[in-house]
Chain A
Amino acid sequence: MNEFDKAQSVFNNDMDTNDYFDSFSAEETKKKLFEVLNSDDIHLTFLVGEPGVGKTFMLHFIEDKLKKRKNIVFFKDPLLTKNEFFKKLITHISAKEERLDDLRYGDLKEMALSLYKNVDNAVFIDEAQLMTDEQFEMVRILSDTKVFRFVLALHKKDKKRILKSDYFKSRNHLNITLKPLQDSEVGRYIQSKLLNNSLGEISSMFEKSHFDTIAKLTHRNFRTLKRYMSTLFELLSYVKNNNLRHYKGIDKRLLIMAAIDTGLIDVK
């Protein structure tokens, strides 16, 4: 295993909240979310951003930071029935699982409200753009009770459709937009990842022009960037293992080849 394989594994890692990168937009979003979750005025927040920009990571990061002080319920997706939703809320706070199957929707709702009434809580729902109208209506009703604080993460393209719907148009809610990395942050992100994993030698191989090319190819999107970097290091590892001397260091050809392999450049 050479150092490029190690670098590849750095970018292949699953979600780890310790990998939080303090980009300008992430810092701003983090600050707003902390504020809204500690205030009593807003009980419904939308975290909006393009796919892969780091919304889920941000929710996990906030959950990680606040879980000792707050009761946070995390729904990875909204593909649940209303009863299942309340059951999860109830079981998160108390161990009454056996008796819940016999209860109807109204009873489950009352039970959840009474359980969470005096509990500092937050309900995070990821991929909220998949929610049905019925689920949106339920979220609206629950947020109106001011017992729950909801944070709904949804795709930017669905933002208009959902926020203009009758459920939320007249409701007091907050929109927080998580933006992609800035051009200058792409290089800083790659270098910080490599340096945090003692791969300073590889980090020093990159030049500004390489970072500019990578930023352009990946559209500064976190998910795409990680996938791209993993592929790039795999190619570099291949070059080293096969002693291909016509590729020197971070070759521009390899940058393009990584983009082709990840599907960022379409060559028919």
Chain B
Amino acid sequence: MLNNSFEELERKYKKYYRKVLFKRFFRFFLFVAVAGGALFFYLFKWEDIKRFAASEFLKSGEGERNSTVSKKAPSPSLSLSPKIEVEKLKNFIENSDKSEVKVKRLPKTKSLPKEIYKRSSKKLSKEGELKEIKIKDEKTLKKEFVLYNDYKSAISLSKLFFERKKYKKAVKWAIKASRYNPGADEPWLIYAKVKKSEGRVELAVKALKTYLKSHKSERARRLLKKYEREGKKR
């Protein structure tokens, strides 16, 4: 004999089925929420954490300096001395390989020491020539990239390798740089120039055309024209 009537069992089955559906939906929702949260954290918050860690590092350095200054006799020349900043930064760069903290960008208030970081000229040459790189030290640039993890250091390395005719490395760093700033024309120009130097003008033209399809760049346009003319002459 059944403990429940058939109708009662049907009713209970429906209730059970609803519960099962709800559980499945809840699990799916939970999974999506967790995965979404992890992705969001990875994409956005991680950069913030890195920046925060860097600022904390700088703050702690400043705090230490202030404390030593307050204990000893105040000496304005010591606290403003660029040598101390340089030493501190050098130490940090040397230890940055071991440390997990990577700094994307230093705060604007902290000017970078001229001995290590030099800005290139913003003036453009007429034919879209690449900016001259004054820093030729590959090691320093790589340390800089580890420290700042940004477009500028990556493109500097790319330019450096291009100048030294290490084309493979130049392309590798150009690609890295374009990841940090997908709209920038410099990585594309380097790529085109590398291909041209390797004798593959058609690839250089193709790359520039691809870039110009979705971006506007006078330098890229001029270079494309130049390469096209050269291609016709051949």
Enumerate chain A interface residues (CB-CB to B < 8 A): 231, 234-235, 238, 242, 253, 256-257, 260-263, 265, 267
Q: Mark B16-37, 1 if CB is under 8 A from A, else 0.
A: 1101000000000000000000
Which single residue of chain A is at the shortest CB-CB distance from B6? A238
- B13 A235 Cβ-Cβ under 8 A: no
B9: nearest chain-A partner, CB-CB: A257
Which residues of chain B have C-beta atoms less than 8 A from A265's C-beta? 16
Chain B positions within 8 Å of A238 at CB level: 2, 6
Residues of B within 8 A of A267 (CB): 12-13, 15-16, 19
**Interchain CB contact (< 8 A) of A261 among B9, B15, B17:** B9
Q: Is the interface of B mostly helix, strand, loop or mixed?
A: helix
B16 neighbours in A (Cβ, 8 Å): 256, 260, 265, 267
Q: How far is the CB of B11 from chain A (nearest CB, A)?
A: 9
Query: Measured between alpha carbons, how far is A260 from B16 in the docked complex, in Å?
Result: 9
Chain B residues in the interface with A (C-beta under 8 A): 1-4, 6, 9-10, 12-13, 15-17, 19
B12 nearest in chain A by CB position: A267
Nearest chain B CB to A119 CB, angstrom units: 46
Q: For residue A235, which residues in chain B have a CB less than 8 angstroms away from its CB?
A: 2, 6, 9
- Report the bound CA distance from A235 to B10 in whole Å: 11
A96 CB to nearest chain B CB (Å): 46
Taking the closest CB of chain B, its distance from the CB of A100, in whole angstroms, is 44
The residues of A that contact B4 with a CB separation of less than 8 Å are 260-261
In the complex, how many angstroms separate the beta carbon of A3 from the nearest chain B beta carbon? 18
> What is the bound-complex CA distance between A231 and B3, given in angstroms?
9
Enumerate chain B residues within 8 angstroms of A231, measured Cβ to Cβ. Answer: 2
Tell me the minimal C-beta distance from B24 to chain A in angstroms. 15
User: B158 to nearest A CB, angstroms?
Assistant: 60
Q: Nearest 6 A-B pairs (CB), nearest first? A: A257-B9, A267-B12, A267-B16, A260-B12, A257-B13, A261-B3
Contacts of A256 in B (CB 8 A): 13, 16-17
Give the number of residue pairs across the A-B interface with Cβ within 8 Å: 34
Contact between chains at A257 and B10 (CB < 8 Å): yes
Residues of B within 8 A of A262 (CB): 3
| Closest residue of A by beta carbon distance from B16 | A267
Instruction: Kindly list chain A residues whose C-beta atoms are within 8 Å of the C-beta of B3.
Output: 261-263
Q: How far is the CB of A224 from chain B (nearest CB, A)?
A: 14
B contact residues around A260 at 8 Å (CB):
4, 9, 12-13, 16
Residues of the A chain whose Cβ atoms lie less than 8 Å from the Cβ of B19: 267
Structural contact, B2 and A234, CB atoms closer than 8 A: yes
| CB of A97, distance to nearest CB on chain B (Å) | 41
CB distance from B229 to the nearest CB of A (A): 72
Q: Are B6 and A253 in contact (CB under 8 A)?
A: no
In the complex, how many angstroms separate the beta carbon of A153 from the nearest chain B beta carbon? 29
11 CB-based A-B contacts, threshold 8 Å: A235-B9, A238-B2, A238-B6, A242-B6, A253-B13, A256-B13, A256-B16, A257-B10, A260-B12, A265-B16, A267-B12
Closest to B3 in A: A261
Contacts of A263 in B (CB 8 A): 3
Among residues of B, the one whose C-beta sits closest to the C-beta of A262 is B3
B5 → chain A closest CB, angstroms: 10
Bound form: Cα–Cα A84–B13 in Å? 51
Chain A neighbourhood of B6, CB < 8 A = 235, 238, 242
For A261, the chain B residues whose CB sits under 8 A away are: 2-4, 9
- Cα–Cα distance between A267 and B16 once the two chains are bound (Å): 6
Q: Which residue of B lies closest to A266 (CB)?
A: B16
Residues in A neighbouring B12, C-beta threshold 8 A: 257, 260, 267
Name the residue in A253, A261, A263 with the highest tally of chain B Cβ atoms < 10 Å from its Cβ: A261
CB distance from B162 to the nearest CB of A (A): 64
A156 vs chain B, min Cβ distance (A): 27
CB distance from B164 to the nearest CB of A (A): 67
Q: Which residue in chain B gives the minimum CB-CB distance to A260? A: B12
Closest to A238 in B: B6
Interface centre among B4, B13, B17, B19 (most CB of A within 10 A): B13
Q: Within the assembled complex, what's the spacing in Å between the Cα atoms of A234 and B2?
A: 8
Chain B residue nearest to A256 (CB atoms) is: B13
> Measured between alpha carbons, how far is A235 from B3 in the docked complex, in Å?
11
Which of A242, A253, A267 has the largest count of B CB atoms less than 10 A from its CB?
Answer: A267
Q: In the complex, A265 Cα to B17 Cα: how many Å?
A: 12
Question: CA of A132 to CA of B13 in the docked complex: distance in angstroms?
Answer: 44
